Structures are given as C-alpha cells and as structure tokens.
Amino acid sequence: MTKRKEHRKRKRFQVPKGVFVGVGPHFTKVGRLTDLSTDGLAFRYVGNRKPSSGSYVNIFMLEGSLFLAKLPIKIIADVEMVEKAPSSSLTIRRCYVKFRKLTPRQKTELERFIEDYATVEA
C-alpha cells in the first residue's frame, strides 16, 4: 500500500465534539468540525449535495459563546464516508477546505480558538 504525500504546511488539531461548521449565509450545510489548522479544516455532514466552493464557513459551539464568522474557504475535497452500518440510508460526507485570505482579526480569533480548544494533533 502506498502512502499519500502530505501537502499540509501546518499541523492539524482535533477539537471537542460540540464544535460545528455552518457553510454560507443560510447555513446550507451544517456539520461537525473534525480537525483544523490555521490553513484549513475538515468537517463531516449528512447529505448528497456538496457545499459551494466560493463560500465561507462559520465555526460555532452549541454550548458557549464561540462564533467565528465568515471565514472564506476553497473546497479541496469532498468525499463520501464508508459507514459501519450499511443498512443506513444516510450519506455521510467529509469536506476538506482551505482558508482563503483571512482578515487579521479572523486569523487572531482562529489562533485563539486553536489555543483554547484544540486537543491533540490530528
């Protein structure tokens, strides 16, 4: 089995299970944030339609005051996940995104979020 070449420049970190990503102004896709870095993130969601690439994400927690707004993204990959329960009719996907040009404030908030909430390297 061949190993994939790693293209990431920054380490990715896992985050607590209560952190979510909403895509676009109307949260057209909402999923659980699985890992992130200062360059990008990955999240899992239910559905068949992929998010729009020219969009942005909002990162939030259900409990707490965390809300990182309108982080511009470019979708790198969006893949269907193989689930353990084959009888399930739900399609689970994983979306990998790269941040586009963040404002200085967004960079600072993202770095603070990683410092405060990230647990271990992904």
Distance CA 84, CA 76 (A): 25
Residue 33: Cβ within 10 Å count: 22
CA separation for the pair 64, 34 (Å, rounded): 18
Nearest to 93 by CA among 39, 17, 31, 37: 31
Instruction: Encode 79-116: b = buried (16+ Cβ within 10 Å), e = exposed.
Output: eeeeeeeeeeeeeebebbbbbeebeeebeebbeebbee
Per-residue pLDDT of the chain (122 residues; tens, 9 = 90+): 444 444 556 688 999 888 999 998 878 889 999 999 999 999 999 988 877 666 899 999 988 778 999 999 999 999 998 765 556 678 889 999 999 999 999 999 999 999 988 886 65
pTM of the model: 0.83
Task: List the structure tokens of 107.
Answer: 């960079």
Contact call for residues 2 and 8 (beta carbons, < 8 A): no
